[in-house]
Amino acid sequence: VGGLGDVCYWLAGDTQEKEGILPERAEEAKLKAKYPSLGQKPGGSDFLMKRLQKGQKYFDSGDYNMAKAKMKNKQLPSAGPDKNLVTGDHIPTPQDLPQRKSSLVTSKLAGGQVE
């Protein structure tokens, strides 16, 4: 019934403001359809915690070596996509951590102008 009400709202050619609600709600519905497990609290703490955790790289050598011993010849599960906050079952390996090296090269902005 609610959906029907929304359609009628739109067809009635309501004010500019009311028409503006529809795009965001439609987008929200699209998102929830793709990710049903998306948190109940709208755009809240999950993002904030992710923001605060930026740069965190975990590696536990004890876990790593024990897992290696247990798995023997099998492949270790490697890190999932970077979006995961919690490591859970997977064990980060040294290979997962990207190499950091400082840029000792002069900035290209300083290397003469293109005009």
Q: Are 93 and 64 in contact (CB under 8 A)?
A: yes
| Among residues 7, 26, 66, 71, the one that binds other proteins under rule CB under 8 A | 26
As measured in angstroms, the least distance from the Cβ of 17 to other proteins is 8
Q: Are 91 and 101 in contact (CB under 8 A)?
A: no
Q: Are 46 and 39 in contact (CB under 8 A)?
A: yes
Question: Could you identify the residue written with the tokens 């390996």?
Answer: 93
Q: How many residues make contact with other proteins (CB under 8 A)?
A: 45
Distance of alpha carbon 12 from alpha carbon 41, whole angstroms: 32
Q: Are 63 and 91 in contact (CB under 8 A)?
A: yes
11 is a site residue for other proteins (CB under 8 A): no
As measured in angstroms, the least distance from the Cβ of 92 to other proteins is 10
SS3 54: coil
As measured in angstroms, the least distance from the Cβ of 51 to other proteins is 7
As measured in angstroms, the least distance from the Cβ of 75 to other proteins is 24
Q: Per-residue contact track with other proteins, 29 to 58, x per CB under 8 A? A: -xxx-x---x---xxxx-xxx-xx-xxxxx
Q: Binding residues for other proteins, per CB under 8 A? A: 17, 20-21, 23-28, 30-32, 34, 38, 42-45, 47-49, 51-52, 54-59, 100-115
